[in-house]
Amino acid sequence: METELNRQRFILLPEKALYKPDERLLIIADVHLGKAAHFRKEGIPMPSHAQQNDYLKLHNLLCNIKPEKVYFLGDLFHSKLNNDWQHFTTLLVQHRHITFTLIKGNHDIITPQLFEEAGITVVNTLETADFIYAHEPQKLTTSSKLTIAGHIHPAIVLSGTAKQNLRLPCFHITQSTVVLPAFGSLTGLFTITPGKKDRIYAVLPNQVIKVQ
């Protein structure tokens, strides 16, 4: 699904990521790698393979899109260092031709040095001529730049004629902010109440659809 943001072309991907073709830039929010291992360490039962699909989905997305740059919009690794770090760095080695940047999120508590040793540049925000890339949506601003962020894990509820409801992750676009759905499978969903002028794109397993 294509859309225009600040007069520039973007593609909304069913993998819950955003792609900017002219820069070959892939944007991903809230992967939360290592979350399953973190839960097990805290005594919460969790299968050892619980996040295997997240690594596979990320690997396949990088192979299919073939970006030159990837921006992670925060919460890349869920918590303290654990055994999943090795899985993640092994994946990065397979894509060493890509430039990775992490816009630091509240869960990214691992020392930046480890990220940088793995080939990931760590910043608090990243600003270009037309966009501000951040983990959290920015407060009220008079800037003409559009903020692209994560953190919220937005979802929309769709209601059918038989009174059935379906809650789906979504891209939430306002006049000032684009909020991406969470990429990771072990993340919750926050049901949003969009404004009248907002654009909502719901994520289905194999496509993204605009919600009227």
Number of domains making up the chain:
1
**207 in any annotated domain:** no
Mean pLDDT of the chain: 89
**101 in any annotated domain:** yes
**198 in any annotated domain:** no
Sign of the torsion angle spanned by Cα atoms 189, 195, 200, 204: positive
**148 in any annotated domain:** yes
Strands 69-72 and 146-149: what pairing? unpaired
pLDDT grade, residue 124 (50/70/90)? very high
pLDDT > 90: percent of the chain = 70
- Identify the DSSP state of 107: T
- Angstrom distances, CA of residue 159 to CA of 110, 208, 210: 41, 17, 15
Evaluate if residue 45 carries a pLDDT over 90. no
* CB of 73 closer than 8 Å to CB of 149: yes
pLDDT grade, residue 77 (50/70/90)? confident
Cβ atoms within 10 Å of 57's Cβ, excluding its own? 18
* CB of 127 closer than 8 Å to CB of 133: yes
**108 in any annotated domain:** yes
Q: What is the pLDDT of residue 161?
A: 64
d(C-alpha 157, C-alpha 159), whole Å: 7
- Residue 70: CATH number of its domain: 3.60.21
Tell me which residue range forms the domain holding 48: 2-152+173-192
For 164, half-sphere exposure in the C-beta direction (CA atoms, 13 angstrom radius) is 3
Q: What is the mean pLDDT of residues 110-139?
A: 93
**157 in any annotated domain:** no
**160 in any annotated domain:** no
**60 in any annotated domain:** yes
Q: What is the mean pLDDT of residues 99-122?
A: 93
